[in-house]
Homo-oligomer: A and B are copies of this chain.
Amino acid sequence: MAKPVRVGIVGCGTVGTGVAQILLTKAEEIKKKTGVKPVLSKIATRDWNKKRFFKVPESLRTTDWREVVQNSDIVVELIGGIDTAKEVVETALKMGKPVVTANKHLLAEFGYEIAKLARENDTAILFEGAVGGGIPLVKVLKETLCSNEVGEIQGILNGTTNYILTKMEKGNLSFKKALLQAQEKGYAESDPTFDIEGIDAAHKIAILAMLAFGGKVDFSQVFVEGITHINVLDIKLGMEMGYKLKLLAIAKKRNNGEVEIRVHPTFIPLSNPLSHVDGVFNGILFKSDYLGQLKLQGAGAGAYPTATAVVQDIIQLAVGLSRCGKVCDITPLGWANHQLKIAKDFYSRYYLRLEVKDKPGVLYKIAQILASKDISIAGVLQQEWILKFLSSHLEVVPLIILTHKAYESKIKAAVEEIEKLPFVESKPVLIRVEEEKY
């Protein structure tokens, strides 16, 4: 029978601990299913005194990651961040050892170089756990959709912000209160910047875009807007119009070969299957030429779901190593040797909420500015009940404008002009609307 495959883990945080637990408790089960037994050979972390939800046997512990790399057939990097993580991954790959990682930050910034290094050393880097926790998004893109041309990806890729938006919508909470609840529940970190500013979701969509469109992404060109400015009023107004507000990550191929990669709060119609993905769950929608729409939904974070994804990759590598003596994976990221051209501007419908003084000529002046930027108005909304939300100063009237499709650059320029009008009382709220029918 096949020799066991030695798996070494660098990093024993929540995901590392979860992977260790699954490997130690399920190895026989995995062997029964695959014929191959992945054996945890060593696990490194700096501080073994920290409390963990699973006790790693003393004999497997080390504080030296080089010892792990040296004594493993497969190296699992789970320390996160860039510096040491990058060194671990590069050291293993240069030794021809395949690597599994869940490090989205590292991949979003250096994924292409790392994949290149893996190819040059005839080995592989797998990273299902980096995007969407336990949901097999990377596998679907690499394997299921390999023969398809992916036109668009829409994803709710950050559980923290989805939890906050769901709490705001269903509990009528302010952003700050919903964030506090997320922190109390352990869904948000004490410094939630990466989540609430959209950066975490942007890392993930950048990785998926590299896979889907086959090229390197300059992460600094990804458009990112978080949810810190979202008011519960806008969520309620959206629902009134049949929309749910989600922090949507979008990667879209244009006819001219450019790609849009962007993360921002977005109104989506209830007919969009992602509108039902609430709470900490993640969801993703792939649109491709032959398969059409494929949607996946599940636990986008957490120790065990992410560990399941990491173990999926370990098993795939272990089966290849054991049966053929080499990795047998569809090479990721290196699908093309070019840089993706990221569109500088994009095209969307917009929701614009203004607070204006109630006097003649207001709408006329605003409409004039929009028209001067080629932005056409699809609808104007002004309802009694909105006033109740803004009871502090009733001489100010809320005005909601829905536009037809327009360029982001033009609506931004229009908003800048509108903001300067003397009767506009506060900073206009601008939210993109993904209107497409499903």
Closest to A303 in B: B290
Complex Cα spacing A329 to B330, Å: 13
Q: Which listed residue, B136, B143, B292, B315, touches A147 by the CB 8 Å rule?
A: B315
Contact A148–B308 (Cβ < 8 Å): yes
**In chain A between 1 and 49, which residues have their CB closer than 8 angstroms to a CB of chain B?**
18, 22, 26, 29-30, 32-35
Alpha-carbon gap, A292 to B304, bound state (A):
9
A136 cross-chain contacts in B, Cβ below 8 A: 136, 139-140, 143-144
In the complex with contacts A22-B290, A139-B139, A315-B330, A147-B298 CB distance below 8 A: no
A294 neighbours in B (Cβ, 8 Å): 134-135, 296-299
A256-288 interface (Cβ within 8 A of B) = 273, 276, 288
Out of B276, B304, B320, name the residue touching A290 (CB < 8 Å).
B304
Question: How many copies of this chain sit in the oligomeric assembly?
Answer: 2
**Roughly how many angstroms separate A32 CA and B146 CA in the complex, as a whole number?**
10
User: Which residues does chain B contribute within 8 Å of A336, judged by CB atoms?
Assistant: 32
Name the distance in Å between A315's Cβ and chain B's nearest Cβ: 5
Q: A297 is contacted by which of B143, B273, B307, B324 (Cβ under 8 Å)?
A: B273
CB distance A331 to B34 under 8 Å? yes
Q: What's the least CB distance linking A279 to chain B, in Å? A: 10
Question: Does B26 lie within 8 Å of A147, measured CB to CB?
Answer: yes
The residues of B that contact A329 with a CB separation of less than 8 Å are 319
Shortest Cβ distance from residue A124 to the other chain B in the assembled complex, whole angstroms: 11
A194 to B248, alpha carbons, bound, how many Å?
Answer: 40
- Note all chain B residues with C-beta closer than 8 A to A308: 144-145, 147-148, 288, 290-291
User: Which residues between 286 and 339 of chain A lie within 8 Å of chain B, taking CB atoms?
Assistant: 288, 290-299, 302, 304-305, 307-309, 311-312, 315-316, 319-320, 323-326, 328-331, 335-336
**A80 interface residue (CB < 8 Å to B):** no
Closest B-chain residue to A297, C-beta based? B295
Given contacts A30-B146, A293-B299, A298-B292, contact A328 B320 (CB under 8 A): yes
Contacts of A139 in B (CB 8 A): 136, 139, 143-144
With a cutoff of 8 Å between Cβ atoms, the chain B residues found around residue A148 in the complex are 308
Give chain B nearest CB distance to A281 CB in angstroms. 8
Which residues from chain B contact A311 at a C-beta distance below 8 Å?
146-147
Q: What separation, in Å, do the CA atoms of A220 and B149 have in the docked complex?
A: 41
Say yes or no: is A214 at the interface (Cβ < 8 Å to chain B): yes
Residues of B within 8 A of A140 (CB): 136
Whether the pair B290, A35 counts as a contact (CB closer than 8 A) is: no
* 10 closest Cβ pairs, A-B complex: A324-B324, A328-B328, A294-B298, A290-B304, A134-B291, A147-B311, A295-B297, A291-B308, A136-B144, A290-B308
Q: List 10 A-B contacts (CB under 8 A).
A: A30-B146, A33-B146, A34-B331, A128-B144, A134-B292, A136-B140, A148-B308, A273-B297, A294-B297, A323-B324
